């Protein structure tokens, strides 16, 4: 199931906390606000953490369905729903909630994504957005603009340097993120669909071991 | 399939390709069924069924060799579509835009969308004709309610879940295998025409060839497959799974197509019966179903339409949204990807309009596939360029067999297109 791009990273465990997670309160308030709209009858808004969960509310029965990324997500959503029993709903049916079966294993391959933005500010905003407001923890994140063009060869895979240079010559700022291959789907989706990026390119996956 | 261990350790990982190799057995086949199998089901949409039936009724088994030849080409084209998404984590339209620019990507997507909407209109007509066969109520009255229901399911329900059930409905077409056997064709002729090419330059033959190739190697499936891989979050570690999934789906799809041609060839071509209505096409099932041939045919067409039409609309929306950089995905809520779902809704509206204003369902079905046959080679060439780029694909760049079959597919389709255009221009439409 796809996710929304609103706040959702804060409950991601210690990694986010280590970066400093000032958003826990805002996350909780967004979740509360979402539940308030659901209980008021508007079931079309995406969940602020779990995205496109499908919700139906008939009488006192709340039905949740859709695919969640992990068992922890499943437990958390069920916990949130059950907390609302007696506050507008009588019972909760979560039989339609499934957990995604992930064949892909993290820690084997990594990918570098490069996005071009009209300005450094836009690139910084996008970096904050992806890093702070998603569940992805990049292994490397860097913004390169014409003032720091010398960094290009160090952070961009050889094959993409030419395209990157061309973008810098056009006064673009580049956001470069290196992530685990299994997380590249979400990062690319966020960069391409939810930021002001002009284009996003993904370098081919590389074995993590070869960099060590 | 791949050779190494199921889950290679870091110590043995020398290249990205090494890290993704896995060995898959027969038991894995059912478990991994995904976008490839659904694509295979959708490939035999009502337009496809009509085209194969018309080819069988018009030229008998003479184009079996083309179907046989197109099978590895189709598998290769679909595997390229999947692989490019597995590696780049991008769908086809987005990738065409970032790799070739809007000047190349926009016409490619626009042509695909036009062909999709026309095919949707033709498929709606076919479904209406099938319901008319069952109820006696004129097909035109069924088009709007059927389109509305399908649009509603695609936009508001989980279509991926629905499509897995619809696949069983399309399994009705397996009866063509029995029908072909019971029709007692001249198997020697069937085998000869499958392995020995018979080429004719008549407009009839060439139109049939272009339509057959267009309905088999269908452009919208490339977009659907790439987007399906992303929705399933299949990366390069799943390359072998994607490949097996696609191979199963495409072989099954073409096997059914083969037996449709054999059945219609044996029943209709041998009696010089042309297909002018859905009832004519249903007659090919008479050897197996007798008086129930119409019922069986209608159920199959309705099931095929229910499976394929939402996929056609979604592929168009994936293309447009990918080009524009909009949020997209059938797993998303409509409020979370409004433009994507608006395109789906518009595709249904225009197709509905085409369906209610079109005159001849069978002709509409056939010529929509001719249009697909003209667009497909362009997309195959673009796919080949993408998947042969080391910059984009790294270790996963096309091997020689993929390049050979890919370029052969493009060349065969271009040749058929050029010959057809020349013959039609000089001799007129058959």
Cα dist from A73 to A62, A93, B75, whole Å = 18, 16, 37
Residue of B11, B90, B325 with shortest CB distance to A202: B90
Q: How far apart are CA A117 and CA A107, in angstroms?
A: 29
At A97, phi and psi to the nearest 5?
-85, 125
pLDDT level of residue A211 (50, 70, 90 thresholds): very low
Question: Any chain A CB within 8 A of the CB of B160?
Answer: no
Per-residue pLDDT tens digits for A143-190? 999 888 888 888 888 888 888 999 999 889 999 999 999 889 888 988
DSSP string of B292-317, one letter each residue: GHHHHHHHHHHHHHHHHHHHHHHHHH
Q: Which residue of B has its CA nearest to A48?
A: B336
3-state secondary structure of A140: strand
Cα dist from B95 to A123, B237, B365, B421, whole Å = 21, 20, 30, 31
Is the separation of the CB atoms in A204 and A15 below 8 Å? no
Per-residue pLDDT tens digits for B266-308? 888 877 777 777 777 777 777 777 777 888 888 888 888 888 8
Q: At what angle do helices B140-156 and B102-135 cross, to 10 degrees?
A: 130
Contacts with A44 from chain B: Cβ below 8 Å: 333-335
Cα dist from B359 to B45, B122, B156, whole Å = 20, 10, 31
Residue A51 carries which DSSP code? B
Q: A39: distance to nearest CA of chain B, Å?
A: 18
Whether B43 has a pLDDT exceeding 60, the answer reads yes
Q: How far apart are CA B336 and CA A3, in angstroms?
A: 9
At A11, phi and psi to the nearest 5?
-90, 20
Of chain A, the end-to-end C-alpha distance in Å amounts to 33
Cα dist from B76 to B96, B258, B331, B402, whole Å = 19, 19, 27, 6
Q: A185: distance to nearest CA of chain B, Å?
A: 5
Write the burial class of residue A28 (CB in 10 Å: 0-12 exposed, 13-18 middle, 19+ buried). middle
Contact A104 B14 (CB under 8 A): no
Whether A4 has a pLDDT exceeding 50, the answer reads no
Q: Which residue of B has its CA nearest to A104?
A: B237
The answer to pTM > 0.90 is no
Q: How far apart are CA A141 and CA A130, in angstroms?
A: 10
Contact A54 B11 (CB under 8 A): no
Contacts with B90 from chain A: Cβ below 8 Å: 188, 192, 200, 202
Per-residue pLDDT tens digits for B374-391? 889 999 999 999 999 999
3-state secondary structure of A134: coil
Residue A156, pLDDT score: 87
Question: Any chain A CB within 8 A of the CB of B324?
Answer: no
Contact A105 B329 (CB under 8 A): no
H or E element, residue A2: none
């Amino acid at each position: 199931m796809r996710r929304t791009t609103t706040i959702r990273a804060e409950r991601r465990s210690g990694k986010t906390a280590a970066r400093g997670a000032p958003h826990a309160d805002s996350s909780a308030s967004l979740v509360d606000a979402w539940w308030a709209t659901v209980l008021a009858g508007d079931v079309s808004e995406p969940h602020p953490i779990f995205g496109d969960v499908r919700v139906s509310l008939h009488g006192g029965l709340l039905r949740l369905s859709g695919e969640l990324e992990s068992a922890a997500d499943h437990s958390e959503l069920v916990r949130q729903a059950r907390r609302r029993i007696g506050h507008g709903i009588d019972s909760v049916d979560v039989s339609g909630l499934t957990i995604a079966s992930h064949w892909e294993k993290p820690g084997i391959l990594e990918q570098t994504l490069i996005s071009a933005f009209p300005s450094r500010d836009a690139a910084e905003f996008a970096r904050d957005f992806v890093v702070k407001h998603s569940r992805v923890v990049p292994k490397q994140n860097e913004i390169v603009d014409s003032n720091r063009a010398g960094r290009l060869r160090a952070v961009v895979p050889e094959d993409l340097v030419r395209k990157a240079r061309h973008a810098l010559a056009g006064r673009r700022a580049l956001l470069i993120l290196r992530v685990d291959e299994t997380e590249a789907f979400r990062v690319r989706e966020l960069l391409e669909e939810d930021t002001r990026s002009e284009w996003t390119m993904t370098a081919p996956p590389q074995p993590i071991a070869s960099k060590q | 399939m791949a050779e190494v261990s199921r889950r290679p350790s870091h110590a043995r990982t020398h290249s990205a390709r090494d890290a993704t190799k896995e060995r898959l057995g027969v038991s894995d086949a059912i478990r991994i069924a995904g976008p490839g199998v659904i694509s295979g089901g959708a490939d035999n949409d009502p337009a496809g069924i009509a085209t194969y039936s018309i080819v069988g009724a018009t030229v008998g088994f003479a184009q079996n060799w083309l179907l046989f030849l197109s099978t590895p080409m189709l598998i290769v084209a679909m595997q390229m579509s999947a692989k490019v998404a597995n590696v780049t984590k991008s769908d086809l339209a987005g990738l065409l835009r970032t790799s070739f620019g809007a000047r190349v990507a926009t016409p490619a997507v626009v042509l695909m969308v036009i062909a999709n909407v026309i095919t949707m209109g033709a498929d709606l007509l076919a479904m209406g004709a099938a319901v008319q066969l069952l109820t006696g109520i004129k097909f035109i009255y069924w088009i709007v309610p059927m389109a509305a229901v399908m649009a509603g399911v695609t936009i508001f329900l989980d279509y991926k879940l629905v499509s897995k059930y619809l696949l069983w409905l399309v399994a009705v077409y397996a009866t063509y295998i029995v029908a072909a056997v019971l029709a007692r064709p001249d198997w020697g002729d069937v085998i000869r025409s499958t392995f020995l090419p018979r080429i004719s330059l008549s407009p009839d033959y060439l139109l049939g060839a272009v339509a057959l190739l267009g309905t088999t190697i269908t452009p919208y499936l490339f977009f659907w497959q790439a987007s399906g891989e992303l929705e399933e979050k299949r990366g390069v570690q799943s390359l072998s799974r994607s490949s097996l999934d696609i191979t199963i789906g495409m072989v099954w799809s073409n096997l059914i197509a083969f037996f449709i041609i054999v059945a219609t060839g044996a029943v209709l071509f041998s009696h010089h019966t042309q297909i002018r209505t859905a009832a004519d096409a249903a007659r090919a099932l008479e050897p197996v179903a007798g008086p129930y041939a119409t019922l069986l045919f209608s159920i199959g067409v309705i099931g095929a339409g229910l499976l394929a039409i939402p996929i056609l609309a979604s592929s168009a929306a994936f293309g447009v949204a990918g080009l524009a950089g909009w949020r997209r995905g059938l797993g998303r809520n409509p409020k979370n990807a409004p433009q994507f779902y608006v395109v789906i809704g518009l595709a249904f509206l225009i197709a509905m309009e085409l369906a209610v204003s079109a005159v001849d369902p069978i002709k509409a079905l056939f010529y929509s596939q001719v249009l697909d046959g003209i667009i497909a080679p362009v997309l195959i060439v673009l796919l080949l360029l993408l998947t042969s780029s080391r910059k984009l694909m790294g270790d996963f760049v096309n091997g020689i067999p993929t390049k050979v079959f890919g370029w052969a597919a493009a060349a065969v389709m271009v040749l058929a297109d050029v010959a057809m255009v020349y013959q039609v221009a000089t001799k007129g439409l058959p």
